Chain A
Amino acid sequence: MPYLLNTPDDKNEMLKSIGASSIDDLFSNIPESVRLKRPLDIPKALTEIELTRHIDRLANSNLSADSAVCFLGGGSYDHFIPAVVDMVASRSEFYTAYTPYQAEASQGSLQAFYEFQTMISQLTAMDISNSSLYEAGSGLAEAILMAMSVTGRMGKVLVAESVHPEYRLSFTTYLANLEPTVVTVSCPEGKICLNDLASKLDETVSCVIVQHPNFFGNLEEVEEIAKLVHSKGALFIVAYDPISLGILKKPGDYDADIAVAEGQCLGNPMIYGGPYLGLLSCKEAFVRKIPGRLVGQTVDRKGKRCWVLTLQTREQHIRREKATSNICTNQGLFALRAAVFLAAIGPKGLTETAELCFRKAHFLMDLLCKIPGVKPKFNLPFFKEFTIELPCNAQMVINSLIEDGILAGLSQGRWSKDLANVMTIAVTEKRTRSELENYAAAFGAAVTAASSQEKSKALKS
């Protein structure tokens, strides 16, 4: 059996030292009536050769972003991951360590997390950041709990309809049995309706959640939103795209109170949805309300600079039911990856990456809108993701482009029945001009085919 070391002789000696007659004897506390009297019904053991063959076959049957050209977004993106990220993260000393509770034996990870906290704060122009949450959806839930605690307001939580539907569902689920009600602010034109926001804002609102760029890719009027939200004493929580901050204003620039993001785009593979990492930054004033682990700088007994987990009285292992959050295990290794990524990309690289995403996305949007019947769904500024309306069902086009080795985009019909003809497309810095041109050509053909199919179906019925 792999991974086990005790030989029969070892076992005998160990049992003798214990004073037990057999291994079974060690389990005598488990009542006979609840023992499993048969082997577990799972497949028999595989050697490494067999397992590798099995997994290779299954992995090869997937259409990955390496074997297809990927235009899917919605919170997970096919950005490039520099080799240095994988190299650092594959150091055993990092990935086989536990949470750095013993600071003296964990300075490597602690310093890296301190650098991570600093770089996320620099990136967002916010005062402080924690050392990661699970991902963006539950990260927003944590931000809302924090806002409730900061403001003491248990009434309403306002959320723009243009926030990722899975994020909205996540925090609504978290809040299901707590006092606040989640109220949606409408976005009829693809961004938050300021009048609707103003009409729903009152002194019972703890926070307003806006995503910028939003789920359709559109930019929101964050500065006006911030002023409006603050005029009623509520907190402004923004969900941002870290890559966009290479060109767009930063959450701290427009006075966000809490900034949350999906950190997948910072050097982490898409891997079917996780592990990713939730980024959470906030104003200094809220430091004792922040959820999750924090690394702080201090000195050792000889006065040497060092790092420790700090402000732990906020956390569940000390505060139990009164903790700011229930999070324990976080996404440490992925925070490390993000730290290496940010160091590798640097300020110039981030701006260049953002600019490449921006220009290529706009180039593709223009190409696609030359196809008869295809037009922008909204006339709003966007960053790397945009939403178009088709003359036919979007899912049909997506399905047919699979044949061309293209992961085409997201059908908005998946979340909203009346948007079945609407598609959101993401373009990263990895896409080349010829990929974009091939995509537009294949897209045109697929639209024509789908439209005529729909027409003949309509005629028949």
Chain B
Amino acid sequence: MDKSQSTGLLFEISHKGRRCHLLPDCDVPTKTSAELLDKKYLSNDPTHLPEMAEIDIVRHFVNLSTKNMAIDCNFYPLGSCTMKYNPKRHERLGSLSGLAHVHPLQDDQTCQGMLEILWEMQNYLAEIAGLDGVSLQPAAGAQGELTALLVAAAYFRDKKEKRTKVLIPDSAHGTNPASAAIAGFDTITIKSNARGRVDMEDLISKIDSQTAVFMITNPNTLGLFDEQIVQITELIHKAGGLVYLDGANMNAILGITRPGDFGADMMHYNVHKTFTGPHGAGGPGSGPIAVRKQLIPFLPAPLIIKTTEGFKLDYDRPKSIGRVRSFFGNVGILLRGYFYIRTLGPDGLKQVSQNAVLNANYLLSLVKEAFDVPHGDRCMHEFVASARTLRRDKKISAMDIGKRLLDYGYHAPTVYFPLVVSEAMMMEPTETESKETLDHFAKTLIKIRDEDADFLHDAPHTLDISRPDEVKAAKEPMLRWKK
């Protein structure tokens, strides 16, 4: 069936004079902008937007949507992204008008229900982190990292300590060093050892009196829990530094261990991963941070406090870093995280992690004979396989395998990340997939391994398009339609 009807660019199917959204006649006698405003303010050129009827718009976007892979249609084992199922009750509840149509600057007394939910969310996230204070303000994980690093900088400034360095393992996500740079720190890379953990010798040699923060992802981006963590956090603390936990991988440890308990002083959550805010083809997310007691004064304002007169936004925070965005936070995603935590409860959250780890280990057990798995046969919620032998022997790359998986209706794993593994294929099945799905997926992977190399170089074969020319896209950037 051809689903390409109306899928030309909006600007090509635009038809002069068509309308979708109509507006009521003006019911006030006031003069018009042309009569009241000086000409210098007024545009004399109409806006060039497409002109469409409602059915054109609906067909256009609905048909476009069918060109996407998505969790509701496909298994999506994209490592580091925690592509778990997005419960439908979240969408219904999140769009209730008593939540969706609350203005961010209305007075506290008019939105006590909203504040109650968000206040409880602050507390749940503190408890799950094993830390003392939470700011819900950051819009995504990367902004959470930046916020926490700004908090750390303010903390050291307050203590009159000059510390300039942030230490980051080489397996870290790119946002870690990028956030550290904006926060004004120098970044120092720490090597991983052959077991995929922090190389202690390298770490020890780089810790000094300038060390402000050590950023660690644990479980790390190889899907491994670094059991040296207690020793690491002690070393950093002894040097007067703080430990930051990149919480992108919290899905592995909910209710099992807590960052605060293994020595982290601050962390971010990716609510859109761990607590299943849908990813929306790129966002929005929500990246709240949790911190230890001594850092609370520096958190962005406002925080929600409970008083005898009800819940209040507390702006009276003289040592606060300020704020990193306008308004309260990405509330729509925080609400979904709240619905999820309330639905699962303490036992359910723990089972989420147990099943996420079980599923990942099971998938690992099915594919380890067929692919290299450089860091052992056990993992947490994800693992990194490598196509390096295939590449050497048959010229089949991780990219080829990923592209061919698309033909079979599976999203590709995360490929070429982390950078410390060549031909990396990072797989994270999540707890919301069944054994049957994992069995089929593993069989498909093994089948692909044995397919003809040339055939794989040309994959995918059955999608709307074949491989795009990315070099051309970057060399002659075409970032918009033009007449």
Q: How many residues of B contact A (CB 8 A)?
A: 205
List 17 other contacts, CB 8 Å, given A108-B65, A407-B103: A4-B432, A88-B58, A95-B91, A102-B69, A105-B406, A105-B463, A107-B64, A111-B64, A117-B480, A118-B480, A137-B326, A249-B40, A275-B284, A315-B174, A330-B284, A343-B10, A433-B28
Contacting B at CB under 8 A, from A284-324, are 287, 293-302, 304, 306-308, 310-313, 315-323
| Complex: chain B residue closest to A330, CB-CB | B283
A156 at the interface (CB under 8 A from B): no
What are 5 A-to-B residue pairs whose CB atoms are below 8 Å? A30-B225, A174-B182, A327-B140, A330-B283, A360-B28
Q: Does A198 contact B (CB under 8 A)?
A: no
Q: Does A105 contact B354, Cβ atoms closer than 8 Å?
A: no
Given contacts A104-B464, A107-B64, A178-B184, contact A51 B52 (CB under 8 A): no
Taking A123-B47, A248-B41 as contacts, is the C-beta distance between A3 and B467 under 8 angstroms?
Answer: no
Would you call A136 an interface residue if the criterion is a C-beta within 8 Å of the partner chain's C-beta atoms?
yes
Q: For this complex, into which size category does the number of interface residues on chain A fall?
A: 35 or more
Q: Smallest Cβ distance from A316 to chain B, in angstroms?
A: 4
Instruction: Provide the A247-269 mask, 1 if CB < 8 A to any CB of B, else 0.
Output: 11110010000000010000001
Q: Is B67 an interface residue (CB 8 A)?
A: yes
For the complex, give the distance between the alpha carbons of A322 and B178 in Å.
7
Chain A residues with CB under 8 Å of B85's CB are 3
- Asked whether A97 is an interface residue with its Cβ less than 8 Å from the other chain, the reply is yes
B377: chain A residues within 8 A (beta carbon)? 19
Q: Is the CB–CB distance between A3 and B431 below 8 Å?
A: yes
A20 contacts the other chain (Cβ, under 8 Å)? yes
Near B by CB (< 8 A), chain A positions 315-365 give 315-323, 325-336, 339-340, 342-356, 358-360, 362-363
Contact B343 A329 (CB under 8 A): no
Task: Tell me, yes or no, whether B314 is within 8 Å of chain A by CB.
Answer: no
How far does the alpha carbon of A75 sit from the alpha carbon of B177 in the complex, in Å?
31
Please state if A96 and B432 are interface contacts (CB–CB under 8 Å): no
Least distance between A268 CB and chain B CB atoms (Å):
9
Please measure, in the bound complex, the distance between the C-alpha atom of A45 and the C-alpha atom of B344, giving whole angstroms.
5
Q: How far is the CB of A213 from chain B (nearest CB, A)?
A: 10
B 105-161 contacts with A by CB, 8 A: 105-107, 109-114, 116-117, 124, 127-128, 130, 139-143, 145-146, 150, 153-154
Q: Would A248 and B42 count as touching, CB distance under 8 A?
A: yes
User: Hey, which chain B residues are within 8 Å of A43, CB to CB?
Assistant: 342, 345
Cβ B175 vs Cβ A326 within 8 A: yes
Option from B51, B52, B355, B365 in Cβ contact (under 8 Å) with A4: B355
Q: How far is the CB of A78 from chain B (nearest CB, A)?
A: 7
Q: Is A429 an interface residue (CB 8 A)?
A: yes
Residue A149, interface by CB 8 Å: no
B239 to chain A minimum Cβ distance, whole angstroms, is: 20
The 4 closest A-B pairs by CB, nearest first: A177-B184, A273-B327, A333-B280, A332-B282
Q: Does A231 contact B (CB under 8 A)?
A: no
Cβ A88 vs Cβ B38 within 8 A? no
What does the 1/0 interface line of A84-101 toward B look like (CB < 8 Å)?
101110111111111111
Given contacts A135-B139, A399-B107, contact A296 B10 (CB under 8 A): no
Known: A345-B49, A363-B28. Is A45-B93 also a contact (CB below 8 A)? Answer: no
Report chain B residues within 8 Å CB of A294: 477, 479
B38 to chain A, nearest CB (A): 7
In the complex, which residue of chain B has the Cβ closest to the Cβ of A5?
A: B434
Which residues from 32 to 79 on chain B have a C-beta closer than 8 Å to any C-beta of chain A?
32-33, 36-38, 40-43, 45-52, 54, 57-58, 60-62, 64-73, 76, 78
A328 and B141 in contact (CB under 8 A), knowing A333-B280, A356-B26, A362-B36?
Answer: yes
Residue of B nearest to A166 (CB): B326
A112 at the interface (CB under 8 A from B): yes
Interface membership of A454, Cβ < 8 A = no
Cβ-defined partner of B282 (8 Å) among A91, A100, A135: A100
In the complex, whether A419 has a CB less than 8 A from a CB of chain B is no
Q: Bound complex: CA of A330 vs CA of B105, how far in Å?
A: 23
Within 8 A of A (CB), among B309-325: 321-325
Q: How far is the CB of B159 from chain A (nearest CB, A)?
A: 15
Q: Is the pair B68, A97 in contact by a Cβ cutoff of 8 Å?
A: yes
CB contact list, B253-289 vs A, under 8 A: 253-258, 261-263, 270, 272, 278-286
Contacts of B283 in A (CB 8 A): 99, 132, 275, 329-334
Query: Which residues of chain B are near A20, meaning CB under 8 Å?
Result: 361, 378
Name the A residues within 8 Å of B455 (CB-CB): none
Q: Does B292 contact A (CB under 8 A)?
A: no
Q: B112–A62 contact, CB under 8 A? A: yes
- Identify B473's interface contact among A48, A96, A167, A296, CB under 8 A: A296
Interface-located stretch among B16-24, B202-210, B444-452: B16-24
